[in-house]
Amino acid sequence: MSKIQSLSPKNLEEYSTFFTDNKEKKFVIFAGGTDLMIDRFSIEGSIIIDISYLEECRGIKADEKHITIGAATTLNEILSSQEVQTKIPILIDAIKTMASIQVRNRATIGGNIGNASPAGDTITPLVVLETKIEIFSPESNEVRTIPIKTLFSGPSATTLEKGEIIIKIIIPLRKDKDIFCYFRKIGQRNAMTITKASLSAIAKYLDSKIEWIKLAPGSVSPVVKRMSKTEEFLKGKELTPAVINKAKEIIANEISPITDIRSTKAFRVLITK
Ligand SMILES: Cc1cc2nc3c(=O)[nH]c(=O)nc-3n(C[C@H](O)[C@H](O)[C@H](O)COP(=O)(O)OP(=O)(O)OC[C@H]3O[C@@H](n4cnc5c(N)ncnc54)[C@H](O)[C@@H]3O)c2cc1C
């Protein structure tokens, strides 16, 4: 059995100093471990950085314009938050479909994002909400903010540099009235199921027409992304059967699903439509 080296830094400065002293080693950021422990042999030989005690990664704060969620906040902590329940119901709808109570007690929002799976259920709502994420670099000891959509570079791959930590998830709040939010996930069954295909949508209606709409399907392309052609087509239109049929055609051409152990390409196209 190989030895495992780990660090539970109390603050980012402590982590940065440790990183500088051990730069040549491999690092793995460890939050709830619910993804990492599935393939635990892959982290052998790395220094495990347990971010659970990092104050900068904890808690949920709200102001007039944003809700900011620490990356190490668990999914159940988010579900219990009054602020998130009232202001970002689409995120609550998505988290409710995830795993079990026991897993959600450990699993974190930062871990779901950091895992970068196209099936990650918090990712599609965060993408339509135009979320930004704060990233800490232990190399420069600095924090930068990027749109979440630029984080993903492929299935299970991110643009994070070695040792970087997502510390905060910053979700802008919309002032507009008549906003419609929708999250739907199709899996093998209703509970404890990984997404075969999903959709997050937010839209604003004006006089029964769509003023704007943002759509992000899950598990149907290498990374979660917005469906800009479908969104553009729907803008200013009433949802008649003809418009819906045309939108289905456009979205089917915007996604690029594959066949894998969870589903087939054909089924993913069918349920996205
Ligand atoms: C039984 C079971 C059911 C599940 N069901 C679902 C489901 O329905 N939907 C779903 O989307 N997922 C599901 N998952 C997957 C998993 O629970 C989630 O992806 C969870 O949110 C991961 O969070 P974590 O804190 O456990 O991440 P970890 O396992 O600690 O980390 C996951 C990855 O993210 C990286 N990481 C973690 N935190 C950060 C950070 N702050 N900054 C940078 N990188 C970071 C890690 O290095 C690792 O690569 C399930 C898992 C299990 C075991």
Domain that holds residue 37: 5-50
pLDDT at 2: 64
Pairing mode of beta strands 165-172, 66-70:
antiparallel
Pairing mode of beta strands 152-154, 142-147:
unpaired
Element (H, E) at 153: strand 152-154
Q: Are 34 and 77 in contact (CB under 8 A)?
A: no
Whether residue 228 is found in the same domain as residue 202: yes
Q: Which atom of ligand 1 is nearest to the CA of 119?
A: 11
Whether residue 61 is found in the same domain as residue 152: yes
> For residue 137, which of 159, 104, 111 has the smallest C-alpha distance?
159
Whether residue 232 is found in the same domain as residue 162: no
* Distance, CA of 207 to CA of 211 (rounded, Å): 9
- Count the domains in the chain: 3
Q: Among the three residues 111, 140, 172, which one is the final residue of a domain in this structure?
A: 172
Q: Which atom of ligand 1 is nearest to the CA of 113?
A: 34
Whether residue 41 is found in the same domain as residue 59: no
What's the CA-to-centroid distance between 116 and ligand 1, angstroms?
9
Q: Among the three residues 108, 141, 172, which one is the final residue of a domain in this structure?
A: 172
pLDDT at 239: 94
Q: Are 42 and 95 in contact (CB under 8 A)?
A: no
Nearest protein Cα to ligand 1, atom 19: 112
Give the ipTM of the model, two decimals please.
Answer: 0.99
What's the CA-to-centroid distance between 182 and ligand 1, angstroms?
23
pLDDT at 1: 54
Report the CATH number at residue 144: 3.30.465.10
Report the CATH number at residue 204: 3.30.390.50
- The pLDDT profile of the chain, 273 residues, written as one tens digit per residue, is 567 799 999 999 999 999 999 999 999 999 999 999 988 888 888 999 999 999 999 999 999 999 999 999 999 999 999 999 999 999 999 999 999 999 999 999 999 999 999 999 999 999 999 999 999 999 999 999 999 999 999 999 999 999 999 999 999 998 887 899 999 998 888 778 888 999 999 999 988 899 999 999 999 999 999 999 999 999 999 999 999 999 999 999 999 998 888 899 998 988 898
Q: If you search the block for the tokens 């239109």, which residue do you land on?
A: 237
Whether residue 123 is found in the same domain as residue 81: yes
Mutate to test the pocket of ligand 1, among 7, 51, 69, 115 (most ligand atoms within 8 A of CB): 115
* Distance, CA of 69 to CA of 210 (rounded, Å): 30
Whether residue 9 is found in the same domain as residue 27: yes
Whether residue 93 is found in the same domain as residue 163: yes
Beta bridge partners of 202: 181, 214
Q: Are 124 and 152 in contact (CB under 8 A)?
A: no
Whether residue 60 is found in the same domain as residue 166: yes
> For residue 66, which of 144, 201, 169, 212 has the smallest C-alpha distance?
169
Residue 28 in contact with ligand 1 by CB distance below 6 A: yes
Whether residue 63 is found in the same domain as residue 12: no
Residue 33 in contact with ligand 1 by CB distance below 6 A: yes
CA angle 42, 47, 50 (to 5 degrees): 100
Angle between helices 265-272 and 241-254 (to 10 degrees): 150
Whether residue 160 is found in the same domain as residue 62: yes
Whether residue 155 is found in the same domain as residue 221: no
Whether residue 11 is found in the same domain as residue 43: yes
